[in-house]
């Protein structure tokens, strides 16, 4: 992508679309330049966005681009988030890349049907860019945005005082990582298993550690070698944990192709899992770009 010249685009959008009664807040539809001058906020107190920008992000974007982002590469919450360089094209700021993507037919944001954002709202966004992205007061009064709260769907929790190693242990936590560290501490402890892969499956994306996951005899986690060699089918136990000992599948090596099946329903990881410590990426909020927990299909 090359750097963008906003003026032609904006004239187009605004003259075609920002007609009277467009549904925007009356006071804000005026000249954006004046807006910037008369906002009257104290920058030492306020780091927020103009309300029409904040509202659009809140209603259409933050389900993924929240803080933390869930299933999207970055947050769209603070003014700074929008001023950061775009990940896809660092010559643009995220605020600019966002308008591109909202207007894009090939790669729309939000994902799905293109141009799903009200034309008046994208015009207002263009106005804001044209005015030099002045700060606003929205969201400032509320202080920090509420982080999404993880809820334990099963209502059952593993007891952290239970220090026995069993296949039911530590649902939600990265299994292989801890076993590796424990083995470094105590190389002679034969009770620490060498697992090829393990994780916990949940009914929702946002579930806290130690919450018991989904228990369903129809669920099966299928791992196949990306090279076509080796395959295991794992059934989650009553903690929602699934695991395979390295010794049980000597042919299978990471990276894995991952499929989860329940009857006819299925979820696949579209990229191969680089290693078998599923919960390391599929943590309470999702790390390394993972959308959150390993999810029941």
Q: Which residues of the chain form contacts with ligand HEC (CB under 6 A)? A: 60-61, 63-65, 71-74, 76, 86-88, 94, 97-98, 101-102, 107, 109-111, 117, 164-167, 169-171, 173, 175, 178-179, 182, 189, 191-193, 197-200, 221, 223, 241, 243, 256, 258, 260, 267, 269-271, 273-278, 280-282, 288-291, 294-295
83 versus 271: smaller Cβ distance to ligand HEC: 271
- Shortest reach from residue 80's CB to ligand HEC, in Å: 14
- CB nearer to ligand HEC: give 41 or 84: 84
C-alpha Rg value of the chain to the nearest Å: 24
The nearest distance, CB 142 to ligand HEC, in angstroms, is: 20
Rounded least distance, CB 172 to ligand HEC, Å: 7
Distance CA 247, CA 231 (A): 13
219: buried, middle or exposed (CB in 10 Å: 19+, 13-18, 0-12)? buried
Q: Which residues contact 251 (CB under 8 A, 6 or more apart)?
A: 225, 229, 230
CB nearer ligand HEC, residue 202 or residue 256 = 256
Angle, vertex CA 144, rays to CA 72 and CA 120, nearest 5: 60
Query: Shortest gap between Cβ of 295 and ligand HEC (angstroms)?
Result: 5
Q: Measured from the CB atom, is 43 or 184 closer to ligand HEC?
A: 184
Rounded to a whole number of angstroms, the minimum distance from the CB of residue 183 to ligand HEC is 9
- What torsion do the CA atoms of 197, 198, 201, 204 make, to the nearest 10 degrees? -90
Nearest residue to ligand HEC on Cβ basis:
165
> Could you check whether the bond before residue 145 is cis, i.e. omega within 30 degrees of 0?
no
**Number of other CB atoms surrounding residue 114 within 10 Å:** 15
User: Which CB, 18 or 260, lies closer to ligand HEC?
Assistant: 260
Task: List the Cα angle 103/27/102 in 5-degree steps.
Answer: 10
- Residue 100 CB, nearest approach to ligand HEC (Å): 7
CB-nearer residue toward ligand HEC: 156 or 267? 267
Q: 105 to each of 128, 281, 296, how far by Cα in Å?
A: 22, 31, 31
């Amino acid at each position: 992508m090359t750097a963008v010249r906003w003026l032609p685009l904006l004239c187009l959008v605004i003259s075609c679309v920002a007609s009277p009664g467009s549904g925007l807040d009356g006071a804000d539809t005026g000249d954006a330049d004046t807006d910037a001058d008369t906002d009257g906020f104290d920058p030492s107190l306020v780091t927020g966005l103009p309300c029409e920008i904040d509202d659009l992000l809140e209603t259409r974007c933050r389900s993924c681009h929240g803080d933390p982002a869930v299933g999207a590469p970055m947050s769209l919450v603070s003014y700074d988030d929008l001023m950061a360089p775009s990940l896809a094209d660092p010559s643009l700021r995220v605020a600019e890349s966002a308008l591109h993507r909202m207007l894009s037919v090939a790669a729309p944001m939000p994902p799905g049907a293109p141009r799903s954002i009200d034309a008046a709202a994208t015009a207002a966004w263009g106005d804001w860019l044209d005015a030099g992205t002045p700060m606003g007061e929205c969201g400032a009064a509320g202080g920090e945005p509420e982080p999404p709260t993880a809820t334990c769907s099963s209502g059952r929790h593993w007891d952290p005082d239970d220090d026995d190693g069993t296949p039911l242990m530590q649902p939600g936590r990265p299994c292989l990582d801890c076993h590796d560290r424990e083995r470094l501490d105590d190389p002679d402890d034969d009770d620490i298993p060498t697992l090829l892969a393990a994780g916990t499956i949940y009914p929702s994306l946002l579930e806290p550690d130690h919450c018991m996951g989904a228990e369903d005899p129809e669920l099966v986690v299928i791992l196949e070698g990306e090279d076509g060699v080796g395959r295991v089918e794992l059934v989650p136990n009553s903690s929602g944990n699934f695991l395979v000992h390295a010794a049980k599948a000597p042919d299978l090596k990471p990276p894995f192709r991952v499929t989860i099946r329940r009857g006819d329903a299925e979820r696949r990881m579209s990229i191969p899992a680089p290693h078998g410590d599923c919960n390391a990426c599929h943590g309470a909020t999702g790390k390394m770009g993972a959308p959150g927990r390993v999810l029941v299909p």
